[in-house]
Structures are given as structure tokens and as C-alpha cells.
Structure 1
Amino acid sequence: MSDQPDQQAKKPFLYIVVCAAGVAGDVGKLITAAQEANWDVGVITTPQGLGFIDTEAVEAQTGYPIRSAWRSPGDPRPLPPADAIAVAPATFNTVNKWAAGISDTLALGILCEAYGMGIPTAVLPYVNSAQAAHPAYRQSLERLREMGVLIGSYEPHRPKAGGGADRYRWEEALELLTPKVSERP
């Protein structure tokens, strides 16, 4: 028997990047699923995404502040480094900017850096069929796939119809990421 004190294994840390989409208010479903699967979780939103979630509830659930803007030089980092990232829900705008390497928000900056840092990343798009038909969107998804980003299976909903929330599989992000995180040293 070891005389070392029991050391609890460090849980993997998941960043959930939330964009401004109708289903964003349900992000607690992914947080709960991740915590039940033994992840610690921090949430980053796009600036517009902040208005789509219950910030107090999310911060209480994760135990961390939500990040939506860059911190000032010298300020402490409010979240540990990510072991994996789930972008859910991901909008048309975020998918296209990310694939193009545009880093004009904290969320996009983290996503653009994740590629170079080798952080496993999954994206669960939430777009309508008119947006999904745009050639730039298809090209962006292909670029993200080439970068090793894992793409969720959500089928776009009809424009101006809302909906699709019942078909949005939050847990798919964990299904995609878990094998990748277990492969890491």
C-alpha cells in the first residue's frame, strides 16, 4: 500500500463555445452530460451568444465565469487550459469565420488557436437549409474537416421555421470528442 495521500485524478476540461442560436438556451444539457461523464466545463460565448443563455445558471452549473471577451494583460486566466472544445450550437457565421481563420472575437480566437495546439474540437452546427445551401458553408465544413474538426450530424431546419431543437443532439459533442481525448498522452 502506498503511503502517498490519495490524489484525485484531474478531470479533463471541456470548453463549450456557444453561438447566438435559438437552441443556445439549452446548453445546460451539454454541461450536465459532460459533468456526468466526468468532465469539468467552462463556457465561452460569442458576444451575441451571451444574450441567448442564462448566464447566472450556466456559471452556477459550471462553477466558472462565462467568457465572451478577451481579458486584459496581467489578468488571471479564469479557465484552465482546454483538453477538448465543443462548439455548440455553431452558427453559419461562426463556422465560416473559423474556417477562414478570422479571429475577431475571443471565441473565434480560441477556435483558431486550437488547431495549432492540437486540441480535439467538435462542432455541432445549428443552421437552416438556406444557409446550409450556400457554397461558402459547404466549403467551410470541408476546411474544418481537413483541420481534423469533428462535425456533428444535425440536419438543417427550414428557414424562418425555427425548430430543430428536438433533433439537436447536444451529447453528440461528447460522443465525438471522448475517443480523441482518451488517445492523448
Structure 2
Amino acid sequence: MGILINIAEAAGWCDNRYTERRALLDVSRIESMTGAGPRTGSEPPADCGQTRMVRKADAMIIAPASYNSINRLVAGVADNYALAVVAELVGVGLPTVVVPFVNAALARRAPYQTALRVLLSEGIRVLGPGDQWEPHEPGAGGRSHGRLPWQQAFDIATALTERTGDRHQ
């Protein structure tokens, strides 16, 4: 994730990070890079009569997107903070890029293939073989993780934002 933050900040973007996997992140490093930690839904609710302010997003990159996350998003399952935010932002038409991180055996399954078609039908850009991004072989995820196409995902998100004219400064 640090690579994507560096790319976004170099281009003058700031970021909102949503995750349920806070324990897997180097929170202090992200805070030092961006000035804010990832939002997890564990923050205390706003006081009565107040709202919690979240910066307006220009685009969203979901990466690495697991088999489960992709299928849950398509099924409308919003059982954690990150998926609830993603589902809502997709629903309002925010330019979205998904970078699947799925092994080839799971990628061949009908539920996954159906999920990709649904995402595409909702206007979500999904990286795939045409982008030189393919599922990794089963058991090779650890070796493939370092190859995530962060710059490509950011460039596509930027192009989608320019196309919609939704870029906020």
C-alpha cells in the first residue's frame, strides 16, 4: 500500500484508506506518509448532532482484491466497514479500479467469472489479461504480491476521473 500512497502523493492526490485489516498494516508508517491513519470503522461515532467528516473521494482503487472481497462486493455483502464504504461509493458512481489478486484455480470458478461481469456492467474497471495482469498460480501468491500493478491502477483511476470530470483539489 505504501507504493500506491507514494504514487498518489507524487501526483498531488491525497488518499482515504479504508480497511478492516488494520493489524496487517504498518499504521505508523502510513500516518507518517499521509498525515492520517487508515479508517477502520472502529473510530468513535460522532457526537449527537455532529457528522464525521470524510474527504470527498475522486476515485477508488481496490487492491489487492481477493476472491472473497470481489464476490462479497458483487453479492452486496457489506458486513465490514471497508466493504460498506466500497459498496456505497460504487453505488454513487465513483470511478473505481479493481486489481484482483486471485489464484488461477479460483479465477476459473463460475462465481468469480460472474462477479467480474457484474463489476464491468456497473462501470468498474477491472484489471485483467488485457492489462498484462493475470491470476497467479495456486500457492504462488506470496511471490506475486510484489508485482501488483500500482502505477497502472493509479493511471487508470486518473484517466477515469479525468473522463468524468470529478477531480477535486
Question: Common fold, TM-score beyond 0.5?
Answer: yes
Question: Residue deviations 1:44-68, cap 9 Å, x none?
Answer: 11x2x32322111012111122112
The structure where strand makes up a greater share of residues is 1
Is 1:134 the counterpart of 2:134 in the alignment?
Answer: no
What is the one-letter code of the residue matched to 1:179?
A
Is 1:60 the counterpart of 2:40 in the alignment?
Answer: no
Q: Distance in 1 between matches of 2:154 and 2:73?
A: 21
The structure where helix makes up a greater share of residues is 2
Question: Residue deviations 1:65-99, cap 9 Å, x none?
Answer: 21122652536535312111110111111100101
For residues 32-181 of structure 1, the aligned pairs below 5 Å read 32-45=6-19, 47=20, 49-69=21-41, 71=43, 72-74=45-47, 76-77=51-52, 79-153=54-128, 154-161=133-140, 162-181=142-161
Q: Distance in 1 between matches of 2:152 and 2:23?
A: 24
What is the one-letter code of the residue matched to 1:35?
E
TM-score by length of 1: 0.78
Tell me the SS of whatever aligns to 1:40: coil
Structure 1 residues 131 and 35: CA distance shift in structure 2, 3 A: same
Q: Distance in 2 between matches of 1:167 and 1:65?
A: 25
What is the one-letter code of the residue matched to 1:41?
D
Q: Distance in 2 between matches of 1:34 and 1:139?
A: 31
TM-score by length of 2: 0.84
Structure 2: any 5+ residue segments left out of the alignment?
A: none
Question: Residue deviations 1:1-23, cap 9 Å, x none?
Answer: xxxxxxxxxxxxxxxxxxxxxxx
What is the one-letter code of the residue matched to 2:10?
E
Q: Say whether the 8 Å CA contact 1:64–1:78 is kept in structure 2.
A: no
What is the one-letter code of the residue matched to 1:121?
T
Q: Say whether the 8 Å CA contact 2:5–2:15 is kept in structure 1.
A: yes
Tell me the SS of whatever aligns to 1:164: helix
Task: Please tell me the root mean square deviation across aligned C-alpha atoms, in Å.
Answer: 1.8
What is the one-letter code of the residue matched to 2:119?
L
TM superposition shift of 1:115:
2.4
Q: Distance in 2 between matches of 1:59 and 1:131?
A: 34
TM superposition shift of 1:165:
2.6
Structure 1: any 5+ residue segments left out of the alignment?
A: 1-26
